[in-house]
Structure 1
């Protein structure tokens, strides 16, 4: 399986902030993107390369994840990371 994780932050440059690792039968691509628009472009490119799954960080929220899913097309599964509400205080301290 080939899958990707997209993390969003204004400090990222998609061409520079990426990593790959492989294990038996799996290739994982991690890409830092500066914006939703950049994430959608990456999703289109990944879909063209045959990616099967894209996960996005919680910063995307459900609307951003839906935009990435639309960009990736019908053959790519897209999900997004969420945290348990019991962790809200910690996340607020980290991200404001």
Structure 2
């Protein structure tokens, strides 16, 4: 079954998840987009999203193993949680975006 309700949580300095979130529906898929200012803000956000029926959560913004694990713990196995990573071939491009 293809997920029809998923979430994308990304870390952006100065973001407030109460203010900086949107829901987009594309092709029958409901996507929750939530910006958090700090990685720790993702924990209660993920817990709330899981409680509201999100079927999977993607993290982006340097969450690393520690914060990804904390988000996984927060959703208590109710939904899969993934984290965006970049391979070595992308490092030059990342340095250009984040000098």
Task: Tell me, yes or no, whether TM beats 0.5.
Answer: yes
> Higher helix share goes to which structure?
1
Structure 2: gaps spanning 5 or more residues: none
- Give runs of aligned pairs for residues 85-96 of structure 1, distance below 5 A: 85-96=88-99
| Stretches (4+) displaced over 6 A | none
Distance 1:50 1:70 in 2: 17
Alignment of 1:11-90 (within 5 A): 11-90=14-93
User: How many pairs are equivalent?
Assistant: 96
2:12·2:61 contact (CA, 8 Å) conserved in 1?
no
- Partner Cα distance (1:73, 1:92) in 2: 35
Distance 1:58-1:37 versus aligned 2 partners, 3 A rule: closer
User: Aligned pair in 2 of structure 1 residues 58, 13: CA closer, same or farther (>3 Å)?
Assistant: closer
| TM-score, normalising length: structure 1 | 0.89
- Match of 2:7? 4
State the superposition RMSD in angstroms: 1.4
Structure 2 length-normalised TM: 0.87
Unpaired stretches in structure 1, ≥5 consecutive residues: none
